[in-house]
Amino acid sequence: MVIAEEIETRRINELRKYNSDPIFHRKELTDLTQLIAQICEAPMAAITVVEEEELQIKTAVGFDERSAPRKVAFCHYTIQEDEPMVVEDTEDDYRFCHTPIFLKHQQVRFYAGMPLISPNGLALGTLCVFDTVPRRLNQQQLFALKTLAKQVMHEMELSVKNKNLIRSNRQLLKEKELLRQSQYLAKIGSFECNVQDKTWSGSSNFLRIFGFHKEKQYSWEDFRAIIHPEDRAKVDLSLSNMQHSKNHLELNYRCINLQTKAVLHVHSICRVIKNLNNQVVKIFGIKQDITEKVLSEKALAKSEKRLATLINNLPGMVFQCKNDEDWSLMYCSEGSHDLFHCSPEALKKCRPTMAKRIPKGYQEKVKQAIRQAQKHNNHYEVTYPIKVNQGFKWIWERGKVVGKDSNNIELLEGFMTDITSQIQTQVALKESEARWQFALESSGDGIWDWDLPQNKMFYSPQWKAILGYGSHEVAESMEEWKKRIHPEDYTRCISKFQRHLLQKTDMFQHEYRMKTREGKYKWVLTRGKVIKFSSLGKPLRVIGTQTDISDKVATEKRLKKQNSELTKANQELDNFVYRVSHDLRAPIASVTGIIELLKQDNTLSEASVNLLDLAKTSLNKQDHFIKDILDYSRNSRLEIQKNAIDFKSLVAEVFSHYEYNPEYEKAEISYQIEQAAPFLSDKRRLEVILHNLVSNALRYAKPYFHNAKIQVEVIANAREATIRVTDNGIGIAPEHLPNIFKMFYRATDHKPGSGLGLYIAKESIQKIYGKIQVASTLDKGSSFTLKLPNLLQR
């Protein structure tokens, strides 16, 4: 994908050279457009260029449009190929059948185009023809399309060259002007000395370089004064040697600028004139200020030292060798220590040679890679094993033929590194993929793999077996899949698949029916994902699996039916529970009321009043049991209702129900509420939970204990609420604690009860995603702690 993006960037950059109006206004391009329309017998033709987001129509015959969105244009696909792209009927092509293209308000049904390929091999646009009816091109027309496309590109290239030629001529004029100042910029000055009368003269540039004033007269001593004191002896010795033998001197030494006192590095070239006595009478020559060069050379030497350090610390070895039978090493970096466990000098002299270390089969592979690289004048890359002292290592090498040595033998330069660990990882990965393939096939899933550019579909044997076919009974085409889809499922299935190809979904997944070999339909689950795209976002490869889900679908149908029956039964049970609770609780309330009326009769004996109290207690117990059953039924069937909870009001309301309870009158009741944020939960279930916990705390207070205490603490925030109900009652024995939340379980017979209260409380807590814990000590009391999430966050 990264490489494709780089190519697109290069293509767009190259297009900038050609995509200008003067180039496309040339009559030659218009003539070529008309010519291809006539040859192909097409009513419409065009020369186009493909920008990043837009198709630009530069010349057109038969229509007026000048641009179109790139993604829906034919040319978007044409530039991805090297040959002509022909769409005989757009309605039969999946790329264009859903997005018809119109020119002059007529639908385009036929298209043929040839990419305009630049000298750098990049497709910039197309030469194309259109028609409003489906049709074909013959071989002569296709040949003409290719030939004229090359001619269009040639004309475009010619325009660019003409433009560049004009630019070059302008540049040449500038260079002529710059040439006049070259000596000034080169920092070269000429001089002449008369040795006999000790006089000298210099050019204006000479005077400027060394700090002389043009208006001032300077002596012989001044001329010698510009030579650095430490280098004067060297200069005098060289001049003396010229007097005895040489007539030419070339020397580097230091000078001093008389004005700035700056030290200059100078390259001096001079010749001498001698008299008949072989005595030097005149010296003339040039001096060039090479200070920058000297400083640059020093900086370069420093940089080369850094480069050598970098090369020697690379995770591999840089090398230069002869392209002979032994690949004789001429240079190698310090990486030889890691690769071959020896120094560079030792490796160059080592036997066996580099070539002999490589197995014979791989030697030919390396030679072939070098030959191909030399043929195309580019780099080669090759992987091979090489023998070292400890066995074999896998090497990755990249290099290039860089020239020849003095004996006309080709030289190779490159880099090699140890990739043994990567090779081992690749082997392990292949083994893992093989195991995955085995596991997938063993699971009963079939595999499919679609190569879109080749329009070739691979179906695994298991894929075919699911539909009852043998391994050779299904062709490698997409149509084999499509034609077996149930007609009622076809449109939705293909639509979902197309949406995934257009990158609108992360993956394709669909349950549908497929026709088996016997002509029956079977339910399957197909999953798939595009694993490779072109640089323009076009899908190139899709892989996936297919699972037989016939049994699953049948089971789901049975479960759906059973669920419907259960829903109906639950509804009937709800109605029954409501009726029973209403029909039973109403008489209990009536009888309880009658008992209270009877107790107001002052003529009743104490025994009669006791009997009435006993009857009332039994009726209350029965009513409480029925209420528990009703709470349990509601909790298990009713949906959660999110209500705003005011814990202070809620707790007060719960306690208000017990104000006339004898146990309540004896107990010290307290509650502490800290609510820092709005809180949502199921209010009805919270009331049931708190009623059960408070009721138990009152019921199981210590008998004859006048200091009974019940405390409720609530701390609520935006995330959760912690509710703690604490009493100092009779407590719970350790052996009973694991069972107290079970249905009908009672830890004591101290007071009457149904054994449902704590069970219903826990079920209600779990229904609203909460948890409950209990801590209790016998004869000291109990503490129930609830953790309830704030349903505002759900």
pLDDT computed for residue 577 by the predictor? 61
With a cut of 90, say whether residue 785 has pLDDT above it.
Answer: yes
> Is the per-residue pLDDT at 181 higher than 80?
no
The tens digit of pLDDT for each residue in 537-576 reads 899 999 999 999 998 898 988 988 888 877 776 666 666 6
Give yes or no for residue 295 having a pLDDT over 70.
Answer: yes
Is 229 a residue whose pLDDT tops 80? Answer: yes
CA 351 from chain centre, in angstroms, equals 48
Question: Which segments of 19-89 does DSSP mark as H helices, in order?
Answer: 21-24, 27-39, 74-78
Is the Cβ–Cβ distance between 622 and 752 less than 8 Å? no
pLDDT of residue 1: 38
Tokens found for residue 156:
């475009």
Residue pair 713/723 in contact (Cβ under 8 Å)? The answer is: yes
State whether residue 690 is helix, strand or coil: helix
What the block records as the tokens of 772 is: 């409950």
Query: pLDDT for 537-547, tens place per residue?
Result: 899 999 999 99
* Structure confidence at residue 703 (pLDDT): 63
Q: Which residue has the higher pLDDT, 124 or 244?
A: 124
Percent of the chain with pLDDT over 90: 30
Angular region, 46: left φ>0, alpha ψ -120 to 50, beta rest: beta
Chain mean pLDDT for the chain: 84
Check residue 264 and give its pLDDT.
Answer: 92
Question: Which pLDDT score is estimated for 617?
Answer: 57
Confidence of residue 704 (pLDDT cuts 50, 70, 90): low
Are the beta carbons of 743 and 761 closer than 8 angstroms? no
Q: Do 230 and 255 touch, CB atoms closer than 8 A?
A: no
Residue-wise pLDDT for 132-164, tens only, equals: 999 999 999 999 999 999 999 998 888 888 887
| pLDDT at 336 (0 to 100) | 81
| CB neighbour list of residue 689: distance below 8 Å, 6 or more residues apart | 761, 764, 765, 786
- Cα separation, 149 vs 141, in Å, equals 12
Res 179: pLDDT = 41
Per-residue pLDDT at 202 exceeds 80: yes
pLDDT in tens, 304-349: 788 777 777 778 889 888 888 888 888 888 888 888 888 888 888 8
CA distance 74 to 41: 19
629 Cβ partners below 8 Å, 6+ apart?
A: 577, 581, 756
State how far the alpha carbon of 290 is from the alpha carbons of 180, 186, 189, 596, in Å.
20, 9, 12, 126
Rounded average pLDDT over 216-232: 87
Question: With 90 as the cut, is the pLDDT of residue 479 above it?
Answer: yes
Q: What is the pTM of this model?
A: 0.31
Q: Are strands 709-716 and 668-675 parallel, antiparallel or unpaired?
A: parallel
Comparing 145 with 597, which gets the higher pLDDT? Answer: 145
pLDDT of residue 467: 92
pLDDT value for 183: 65
Answer yes or no: is pLDDT of 585 > 60: no
Cα distances (angstroms) measured from residue 525 to each of 447, 459, 724: 12, 15, 51
pLDDT reported for residue 3: 47
Give dist(CA 152, CA 281) in Å, integer.
72
pLDDT of 618 strictly over 80? no
Q: Which two tokens stand for residue 611?
A: 């009997």
Query: Residue 242 above 80 pLDDT?
Result: no
Note the Cα 312 to chain centre separation in Å.
34
Instruction: Give the model confidence (pLDDT) of 705-747 as tens digits.
Output: 567 888 999 999 999 999 999 998 888 888 888 888 887 777 6
Structural domains in the chain plus CATH codes:
2-165 (3.30.450.40), 184-295 (3.30.450.20), 316-424 (3.30.450.20), 443-548 (3.30.450.20), 640-793 (3.30.565.10)
pLDDT at 476 over 70: yes
- The whole-number pLDDT of residue 527 equals 93
- Residue 72: which of 92, 48, 97, 47 has the closest Cα? 97
Range 13-38 average pLDDT: 83
Q: Which among 266, 272, 199 has a CA at the least distance from the CA of 232?
A: 266
DSSP H or E segment with residue 236: helix 232-244
Amino acid at 330: M
CA end-to-end span of the chain: 41
The four Cα atoms 498, 501, 506, 510 give a dihedral, to 10 degrees, of: 40
User: 93 near 112, Cβ under 8 Å?
Assistant: no
| Mean pLDDT, residues 92-119 taken together | 90
pLDDT of residue 702: 73
Strand partners, 194: 199, 282
Asked whether the CA dihedral 236, 239, 243, 246 is positive or negative, the reply is: positive
Share of the chain above pLDDT 70, in %: 86
Q: What mean pLDDT do residues 687-709 have?
A: 80
pLDDT for position 484 = 93
What phi and psi values does residue 213 have, to the nearest 5 degrees?
A: -95, 135
Residue 471 pLDDT class (50, 70, 90 cuts): confident
Task: Look up residue 575 and give its DSSP letter.
Answer: H
Q: Which of 182, 212, 159 is nearest to 29 (CA)?
A: 159
The encoded tokens of residue 741 equal 């939340």
Q: How far is CA 779 from the centre of its chain?
A: 65
Nearest in space to 689 (alpha carbons), one of 787, 575, 622: 787
Q: CB neighbours (10 Å) of residue 2? A: 7
What is the predicted pLDDT for the residue at 436? 65
